[in-house]
Structures are given as C-alpha cells and as structure tokens.
C-alpha cells in the first residue's frame, strides 16, 4: 500500500449502504451487538473467490487462503465451505484451521521463524506442505523427520524483487528476513535431497502485500522458473508446484487494484509450461473489502482550526491507519446529533480519531462526513483483512465483537471481550519462586 493522502477522498453521503446491506440492517447489528463491531459478508468473500477462480480457470491451480488476514473460526468455516486450502504461519493458526475442519493435506505451513515445537506439530498432524525458509530450519526438520513417512517440503525463495507497497509489507528484497536468497536455493535443495526423508515438492515466494502491479510477480515467477529448471537438471524429480504467494492488491478507494488478468499472465505460464500446479495464497484479496468496522461517534470538538470526531474504535481495534498511514474510506451509516453544538460546521473536514491515549490513534484524517455528530454510526471500509487479527487490548480496551452476514441473516461469530477477559491469567498476589 502506498501512503495515500488522508485528506478528502470520502463519498460523504449519510445513510449509505455497506457490504450491500442497507443502513437499517447495520444500525440493527450495532444496536444489538454494540460497537465497535466488525461485520463480514460471506457473499462478498464468495464473490472474490469466484473472481480469482475465473481468472485462473484452465490453469491447474489451488488457492490457499492466508489465515493471517482473518483467522476467526466463523470466517475459516466460510473459506472451508468454498473448498479452499489454507496458508498458515504459526501453531495457533494450525490449531484454528484444524478446529475449523480443514484437512491437514490442505495446509501449507510457511513462516520465517518456525519453532521446533511448531515444526513438530506440523509433522505430527501431517500438513500438506512445509515451506522451508532457512538452513537452520532444514537441519531441525531433517532430524524431526527421521523415522516418519516422507515429508513434503517447499523452499520459499527470496527472489530479490521490489514491490510498490509500504516498506513494512515488502518481503522479497535481498536483506529481508524472509525466504532463502536465490543464490542459496540450489545448495539447500541438495541438502534436502541428502536428508532422505524429505521430498522437495514446491518452489515458492511471497513478494509482499497489497501489490497493485503484475510486473513484480512476473519477475519473481521467472526466478522460480529458472530455479526449477536448475533443480530438475540436478536430478530433482519431485517438484509438483510453484507457489506465488499472496499479496494481490485490492482497491481501498483511491488506489488501483491488481488486474487479475495481468496477474494470471504474469504467473501461470511459469507453472503450466513445466507441468507444475500453481499455488496462490491470497488473504486480503478475499477478506479486505468483505468486511467493515462499525463504530459510534462519542463526541466532536474543535481544536486549532480542526474538527475532531472521537469514535469508540481506535488503533487498538484497527491499526492499519496508524501503523501504515493506510487510507480506509469512512461512511456515515446513521447521522448523529447536530455537529457538537455547531451545526454550521457540519460540512467541515473532520479528523476521525480513536479514544486511545496516542496522537497517532486515528482512523481517517480530513474527511468530509456530514452528520458525524455524537451518536452517529460510522463504517470504516475495507476492514475485513488485517483488522481484528491486529487488534490489541491497549488502554485495557476489550477487543471488538465480530458478526458474519449471509443471505439476509446475521450471526455473532465472536463475542465482545469483557473486562474480566482482560485480566484472565493475571494475578495481583504472585507466587514467588526462589532463584
Ligand atoms: N503468504 C504469505 C507467506 C504471507 O506472508 C502473506 C502475508 C500472505 C500469503 C497473504 O498476503 P495478502 O494476500 O493478504 O497480501 N498487516 C499487513 C499485511 C501483512 C501481510 C503479511 N503476509 C497489512 O495490514 O497490510
């Protein structure tokens, strides 16, 4: 994501529909479940899945949803019902996908720092593919894999490709912690072969997140293709797939989405011309615009010539604006009381900020939001991916509830945390242990 200018950009009407739901439906959810609340649309997730499947039609491929984008069990269930596989990066995500009913064979396990315990858990349950990211990891895996049935592994390659994204979400440049540098791949493959009980099934990459151009994918895929050829020449006859990772950019409003046709053209040939399957690991593409965050305006005030609207959701609920300067459209679902006692200023640009004690706690700056007075219900758009999963209890705020909407019905898929939940596992009378 590029840092999109925060000022302006909003559509600004009152009573807008969101996720194809009329404002009354959103008001009802907010009224019954409370705010802040994340609302997701199962139909939108299915729509995004359809779009990607259609773009890849005719190519042997498998879509693995990247669980880190939104790992709630209710969402995983939607993904499972669509027939997708998953991409996971931790023991916690492994437990979640197993709970949601995914078969181990449908799991790709990646991650730059998998612990010994995580590798062991992955072997124990028999994940479909383990992507190796370092020599160290290989050494441990090789030891753990002894006396087991053969383990399918891939190499996540760092192809040294730059993307047009926020520096924090670029992952494939030389010097980054992710993947195996391209010039070390052949050597690692040799070691995998020597290990005996490992089968090298895949070469993969993940370039970064919110990528809007196909060109980096083309360069990355070309690198994987060249490496695959080298491995075949040196006798590797087990390769079955090329994994091009996730990162498919969506439009959050002013910024362009990745063109799916161009994406397909950039990556498909590399796999199909070698008789390999294409693996894709989208997270944001499926969830980003399939969810929003509903928040209520607490108060509105003027300071230093600016109008400030303070909402009950902040950086602890939705970190992307504060962490990346990311732009998220904000809509007024239902009008509040008249402009903080100064109705004439109702059309001034407003800074929509959270209640946390940080000046960097904001959802959107300089927005035109008529009707955003106290009590107004706002929807922060594009909050389905990297929303709840990145939320925290900062300022001792309970984390938000989550609601799933499907075919004209809604269900709470996560209860709002309580203040009691916040203190679970803590004590004010510690049991001291001698050192
Ligand atoms: N595969 C791997 C190995 C990944 O590391 C990621 C994301 C994905 C797939 C899915 O990427 P996606 O399709 O969602 O772009 N918190 C950041 C995004 C970090 C993504 C990390 N890895 C944000 O809010 O923009």
Is the predicted pLDDT of residue 344 greater than 70, yes or no?
A: no
**Ligand 1 atom nearest 156 alpha carbon:** 3
Q: Ligand 1 mean position to 108 CA, how many Å?
A: 14
Is the predicted pLDDT of residue 103 greater than 60, yes or no?
A: yes
Is the predicted pLDDT of residue 419 greater than 80, yes or no?
A: yes
- Name the segment(s) of the chain with CATH classification 3.20.20.10: 71-282
Q: Which residue has its alpha carbon closest to ligand 1 atom 16?
A: 386
Q: Which fold is adopted by the domain 11-40+288-417?
A: Lyase, Ornithine Decarboxylase; Chain A, domain 1 (2.40.37)
- The string of pLDDT tens digits covering residues 286-317 is 999 999 999 999 999 999 999 999 999 999 99
What local confidence, expressed as pLDDT, does residue 8 receive?
Answer: 53
The closest of 341, 261, 349 to 306, measured between CA atoms, is: 349
Q: Ligand 1 mean position to 109 CA, how many Å?
A: 14
- The string of pLDDT tens digits covering residues 111-135 is 989 999 999 999 999 999 999 999 9
∠ Cα 134 168 176 (to 5°): 25
Sign of the alpha-carbon dihedral angle for 124, 280, 251, 30: negative
How many angstroms separate the CA atoms of 319 and 333, rounded?
A: 21
With a Cβ cut-off of 6 Å, ligand 1 is lined by 66, 68-69, 87, 110, 169, 206, 209-210, 245-248, 281-285, 320, 385-386
- Give the pLDDT band of residue 374 (cuts 50, 70, 90): very high
Is the predicted pLDDT of residue 343 greater than 60, yes or no?
A: no
Q: What percent of the chain has pLDDT over 90?
A: 86
* Mutation test residue for ligand 1: of 88, 113, 209, 380, the one with most atoms within 8 Å of CB: 209
Q: Ligand 1 mean position to 68 CA, how many Å?
A: 7
* Mutation test residue for ligand 1: of 247, 321, 325, the one with most atoms within 8 Å of CB: 247
What local confidence, expressed as pLDDT, does residue 2 receive?
Answer: 39
What local confidence, expressed as pLDDT, does residue 337 receive?
Answer: 85
Q: What are 354's two structure tokens?
A: 């959270």
What local confidence, expressed as pLDDT, does residue 14 receive?
Answer: 73
How many angstroms separate the CA atoms of 9 and 11, rounded?
A: 7
Q: Ligand 1 mean position to 284 CA, how many Å?
A: 7
Instruction: List the catalytic residue out of 125, 195, 223, 357.
Output: 357
**Ligand 1 atom nearest 211 alpha carbon:** 15
Exposure class string for 280-298: b at 16+ Cβ within 10 A, else e: bbbbbbbbbbbbbbbbbbe
Query: 157 and 203 in contact (C-beta within 8 Å)?
Result: yes
Q: Which residue has its alpha carbon closest to ligand 1 atom 9?
A: 246
Q: What are 41's two structure tokens?
A: 């649309």
- The string of pLDDT tens digits covering residues 38-73 is 999 999 999 999 999 999 999 999 999 999 999 999
- The string of pLDDT tens digits covering residues 185-221 is 999 999 999 998 999 999 999 999 999 999 999 999 9
- Name the segment(s) of the chain with CATH classification 2.40.37.10: 11-40+288-417
pTM metric for this prediction: 0.95
Q: Which residue has its alpha carbon closest to ligand 1 atom 15?
A: 247
**Ligand 1 atom nearest 110 alpha carbon:** 3
Number of Cβ atoms within 10 Å of the Cβ of 338: 14
What local confidence, expressed as pLDDT, does residue 340 receive?
Answer: 47
Q: What is the dihedral of CA 10, 13, 15, 19, to 10 degrees?
A: -40
Is 299 assigned a catalytic role?
Answer: no
Q: Which fold is adopted by the domain 71-282?
A: TIM Barrel (3.20.20)
What local confidence, expressed as pLDDT, does residue 175 receive?
Answer: 81
């Amino acid at each position: 994501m590029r840092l999109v200018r925060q000022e302006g950009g909003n559509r600004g009407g009152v009573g807008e529909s969101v996720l194809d739901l009329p404002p009354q439906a959103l008001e009802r959810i907010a009224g019954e479940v409370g705010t802040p609340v994340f609302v997701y649309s199962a139909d939108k997730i299915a729509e995004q899945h359809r779009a990607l499947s259609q773009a890849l039609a005719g190519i042997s491929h498998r879509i693995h949803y990247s669980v880190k984008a939104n790992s709630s069990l209710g969402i995983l269930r939607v993904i499972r019902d669509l027939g997708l596989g998953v991409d996971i990066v931790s023991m916690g995500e492994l437990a979640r996908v197993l709970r949601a009913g995914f078969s181990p064979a449908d799991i790709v396990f990646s991650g730059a720092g998998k612990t010994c315990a995580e590798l062991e858990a992955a072997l124990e349950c028999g994940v479909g593919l383990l992507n190796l990211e370092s020599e160290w990891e290989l050494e441990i895996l090789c030891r753990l894999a002894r006396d087991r049935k053969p383990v399918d592994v891939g190499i996540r390659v760092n192809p040294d490709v730059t993307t047009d994204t926020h520096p924090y979400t670029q992952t494939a440049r030389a010097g980054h912690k992710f993947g195996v540098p391209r010039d070390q791949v052949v050597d690692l493959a040799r070691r995998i072969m020597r290990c005996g009980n490992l089968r090298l099934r895949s070469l993969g990459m993940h370039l970064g997140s919110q990528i809007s151009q196909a060109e980096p994918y083309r360069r990355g895929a070309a690198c994987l293709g060249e490496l695959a050829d080298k491995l075949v020449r040196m006798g590797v006859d087990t390769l079955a797939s090329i994994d091009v990772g996730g990162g498919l950019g969506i439009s959050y409003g002013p910024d362009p989405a990745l063109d799916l046709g161009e994406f397909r053209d950039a990556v498909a040939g590399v796999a199909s011309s070698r008789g390999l399957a294409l693996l894709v690991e989208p997270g944001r593409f499926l969830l980003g615009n399939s969810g929003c965050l509903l928040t209520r305006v607490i108060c509105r005030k003027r300071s230093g010539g600016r109008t400030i609207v303070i909402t009950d959701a902040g950086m602890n609920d939705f970190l992307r604006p504060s962490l990346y300067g990311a732009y998220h459209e904000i809509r007024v679902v239902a009008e509040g009381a008249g402009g903080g006692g100064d109705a004439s200023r109702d059309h001034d640009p407003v800074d929509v900020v959270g209640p946390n004690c940080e000046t960097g706690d904001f959802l959107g700056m300089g927005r035109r939001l008529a009707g955003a007075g106290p009590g107004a219900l706002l929807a922060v758009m594009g909050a389905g991916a990297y929303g709840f999963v990145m939320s925290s209890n900062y300022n001792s705020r309970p984390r938000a509830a989550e609601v799933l909407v499907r075919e004209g019905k809604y269900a709470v898929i996560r209860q709002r945390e309580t203040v009691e939940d916040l203190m679970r596992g803590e004590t004010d009378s510690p049991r001291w242990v001698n050192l």
